[in-house]
Amino acid sequence: MSRSSTPSAPRREGVETAARGTHAAPLVTAGPDESLRRFVLAVAGAFVVLFGLVGAANAVVDPYGTVGTGAFPTLVFSDHRIKVALIARLETAPQVVVLGSSRALKIEPSWIQHRTGLTGFNAASAGARTEEAWGYVNLLHDRFPHVHTRYLWLVEPELFRRGRTNPLLLDNPTLGRYYGSGAKGASKLADVRQLFSWNALRDSYKVVRAELRDIKPDAFASFAPDGFRVSDRHDRLLSQGRKLSDELVKGIRDWRSSARLNFGPAPGDLAAGPRASFERTLRLMNGWGDAPVVVLSPMHPAYRRALGPAGIGHMHDVLLAYLHGLQRRGFRLTVLDMSDIRSFGGDPNAFYDPIHPTVPNVRRMLDAVIARTHGALQ
């Protein structure tokens, strides 16, 4: 009798069969929370690496000169080093000191002396806010402590814009001593933060590109011994055929894009920090028996008209009211509004750009200021 057998399953060609009783290892997959956590960590790590590379590149190139590597020329020019050196060389005390931003740099102390007989020094600096004046007023008083000084201070709403104190002012060993350690510490922290900014990376690129192309930066400006800025980029652009009409268009566009960021928390406010610094400097001057002549600086009439609705006219009115308010509060100062060039017979063609008059216009303004201050500058 033949042994019975269980029929086997037909074999399929090309098909592998697993042995009975064995199983493949289960596939382990991350849950949605775990996947999201890994993705977030990866993105965060990439950002850390990216910002680290940005900071390292900016620190090496050092476009603003705040790190001190000296590997490349800095992108930012500062008047402070030059002005401090010129003050150190003065043999006699200046009787008139000019203060303000770049709008005051074309005031010639020699012209003031020609009109009044008083010697002078121009202590204005490009990009200044009110804080710069504090350092220069203290420095000149310490240099010549027993001299009666007259001050001519050109002001404009932008002098009261918000923002941090210029780090190149605080880092200057001569001027920096007149500012508290708190301001210096805050400035250093801001410098560190700036190293990780995209704006700094863009400026680092400009510096490196200029170096690779062997473009040597021209001397930014030249100065007379009395601090007057004899020539600068405005003069170079003018000699190269730059048109005032083009500068007016650019100036109007720049104001409209930045006006909201420049001033106080409410529309039309002057920033609190610059106001406090301005009043502190006025109080110091008054305590020494000096009453400054404060002049609202000229603007091109087309610029003034175009930006009236955008707020520049309003900001001018706010600043003028603020200055008159200081007089009512007991501060001693003479206030003259020269923002409209008709107030001194100015020439609308004698401007570099909307806010920087050329020397002939500045002289006309000075003549009017001297005539209207009833001896304050005599």
Average pLDDT along the chain, 378 residues, taken 10 residues at a time: 47 48 54 72 72 66 59 66 94 97 96 96 93 96 93 94 78 87 50 57 64 57 93 86 89 74 63 94 96 96 80 85 97 97 96 95 97 83
Instruction: List the structure tokens of 237.
Output: 């652009």
pLDDT at site 258 = 67
Kindly list the domain boundaries of the chain, sorted by start residue. Answer: 80-168+217-372
Instruction: List the structure tokens of 39.
Output: 């993705």
Q: What backbone torsions phi and psi does residue 377 show, to the nearest 5 degrees?
A: -115, 30
Give the fold, CATH level 3, of 80-168+217-372.
Answer: Rossmann fold (3.40.50)
Tell me the pairing of strands 150-155 and 120-122.
unpaired
- The vertex-25 CA angle with 21 and 28, nearest 5°, equals 150
Collapsed DSSP state (helix, strand, coil) of residue 363: helix
Cα–Cα distance, 121 to 141 (Å, whole number): 13
Cα–Cα distance, 132 to 139 (Å, whole number): 11
Instruction: List the structure tokens of 9.
Output: 């399953």
Is 170 in contact with 178 (CB distance < 8 Å)? no
Q: H-type helices in 131-243, by residue range?
A: 131-143, 167-170, 181-195, 198-212, 233-239
Q: What backbone torsions phi and psi does residue 276 show, to the nearest 5 degrees?
A: -65, -40
* Stated pTM of the model: 0.75
Instruction: List the structure tokens of 358.
Output: 């050329």
**At 323, which helix (H) or strand (E)?**
helix 312-328
Cα–Cα distance, 143 to 371 (Å, whole number): 30
